Structure 1
């Protein structure tokens, strides 16, 4: 199991243009370049970064090339002020990153606001997304949740570092099923515990915008879709997965029991096995 420092060391970086801003995007890449199947792109949410997929990427990379970027404003990507971090802007970042890497067809696996980015991209580019996996993803009017809204309050920028860390501890512990892994919690908090990261987290939270998912034409999504959803989540409830299953033409709904919001962490083995089975069409 890789820790967050090792994960960061394994990342590459490139520069893409988003709304006219040249922004650094860090991404973790693994798996065989020569695979005939499209690469699998993993998108995280708030307040996480690509380290969310630490236990999932290695399993998928046995068969497929994997790319797990940090959204702009997150992780080891650009964190400075002066650019939009909304899921509309993150969709533009994703498209620019794929173009920079020379990728056309892909599979998308996404969690939380990364799911909102993936839904937008799949609806706007149905020819590029062959498979789509959504886990406890923001959609319709399901977000932002109170915890994230509170992170965007001006007072959060003035919090002592210890108080911010306590808020993040609560989110990662309460959003987990059972006892949260200290290594997971430490890794998720790490990017935010600097002056730049602290302010960037506030900017990220302010940028959450429900309009960017209520405006999606969900019927335009053509990808074979798996809704692999932690059924005990209170932040992105299972009822929204059921709604997505009705609106996306080729969607399969599969709950994961004993899982709250951080489902790739709560049920890592079961999640990785089901994901590989879906992506390859073969039982693992």
Structure 2
């Protein structure tokens, strides 16, 4: 599925965060209702991605589970205007509003990068509402921000040419342990940022990264079953953080070799196998 087809199947709702009414784009797929012990699976992306990150994973899970795949605020086809907070604290508030709008009182969360920070905050603050929590190369503790993202928050990001932005950001998406990045993946990840509004929003998202929002989490409060499903060769969010997170939450680590930060892209089949085994317990 290309990014245009993915976007065409998104729905939109409006949430209120910090007194701002903001549109949130999301995919809602799979059975409308399932067994009582199978809550919807919610997929959360990170920076600088959007929900298209889950293009090969969420549709497969939707064969037998309802899935919700939102674009975080400031990303993809959600709100990109200036004047609102894009931090993971605000993204957690967005998630709470979205769940209320969709009538969800129990969920399973599958997360990546800063989406992991959002998921961890939500699971710690609402332990009775999260049954399963999957964190993939997720920000946690003091593991972030990284220099690449911090540099995107500099004023020059809003002034750089589209070609330069494509080269800089696209180069990161092309990195991995697979031999050749799928051009459809790279093109899809870049698409939201290659407009003036998108380029500005990317800078705002980058500058909103705040380590305090993950260092202040009470990790002991998380009661969900936890899986740290990690790309073992990641230099942005190292495997050591997965091991620490699993130890603090009573979870487990599955490390996929020959996988970099974009683990679900580098090792799609291995990722899907491990995820299904965890969700089907």
Tell me the TM-score normalised to structure 1 length.
0.97
Which consecutive residues of structure 1, in runs of 5 or more, have no partner in the other structure? none
CA distance in 2, matches of 1:112, 1:176: 18
Contact 2:230 2:255 in 1 (8 A): yes
How far apart are residue 176 of structure 1 and its match?
5.5
- Checking the alignment, whether the CA contact within 8 Å between 1:144 and 1:208 is kept in structure 2 is yes
SS at structure 2 position matched to 1:63: coil
Q: In structure 1, what is the Cα distance between the partners aligned to 2:272 and 2:266?
A: 11
Deviation sequence 1:73-128 (CA, Å, 0-9, x none): 00000000000000000000000000000000100000000000000000000000
3-state SS of 1:127 partner = helix
Matched, 1:24 2:23: yes
Is the contact between residue 176 and residue 261 of structure 1 (CA under 8 Å) also seen in structure 2?
no
Write the mapping of 1:20-59 to structure 2, written as runs, cut at 5 A: 20-36=19-35, 37-59=38-60
Give the SS at the match of 1:139: coil
Separation in structure 2 between the aligned mates of residue 177 and residue 26 of structure 1, nearest angstrom: 30
1:209 aligns to what SS in structure 2?
coil
Instruction: State the 1:274 CA deviation.
Output: 1.4
- 8 Å Cα contact 2:243/2:253 also seen in 1: yes
Q: Is the 8 A contact 1:107 1:132 kept in 2?
A: yes
1:276 aligned residue: 276
- Residue aligning to 2:118: 117
Aligned to 2:264: 264
Per-residue deviation at 1:63? 1.3
1:11 has 2:1 as partner: no
Identify the residue that residue 160 of structure 1 maps to in structure 2. Answer: 161
Match of 2:152 in 1: 151
Q: Which runs of 4+ in 1 moved over 3 A?
A: none
Residue 175 (structure 1) shift? 4.5
Deviations 1:126-174 (A, max 9, x none): 0000000000000011001111000000111110111111111111112
Q: In the TM superposition, what is the alpha-carbon distance from 1:245 to its structure 2 partner?
A: 1.2
Matches within 5 A, 1:153-192: 153-175=154-176, 177-192=178-193
Kindly indicate whether the alpha-carbon contact (under 8 Å) linking 2:137 and 2:237 is maintained by their aligned counterparts in 1: yes
Structure 2 portions without partners, runs of 5+: none
State the 1:239 CA deviation.
0.5
Deviation at 1:178, TM superposition (A): 2.8
Query: Is the CA contact (8 Å cut-off) linking 1:144 and 1:209 kept in structure 2?
Result: yes
CA distance in 2, matches of 1:106, 1:220: 17
Q: How far apart, CA to CA, are the structure 1 residues paired with 2:176 and 2:203?
A: 19
- The farther-off stretch of 170-179 and 53-62 is 170-179
Q: Distance in 2 between matches of 1:233 and 1:180?
A: 16
Could you tell me whether the CA contact under 8 Å between 1:152 and 1:206 is conserved in 2? Answer: yes
TM-score (norm 2): 0.98
CA-to-partner distance for each residue in 1:19-61, whole Å, 9 max, x for gaps?
Answer: 1100000001111012121000000000000000000011111
Equivalent in the alignment of 1:138: 139
Checking the alignment, whether the CA contact within 8 Å between 1:113 and 1:137 is kept in structure 2 is yes
Tell me which residue corresponds to 1:102. Answer: 103
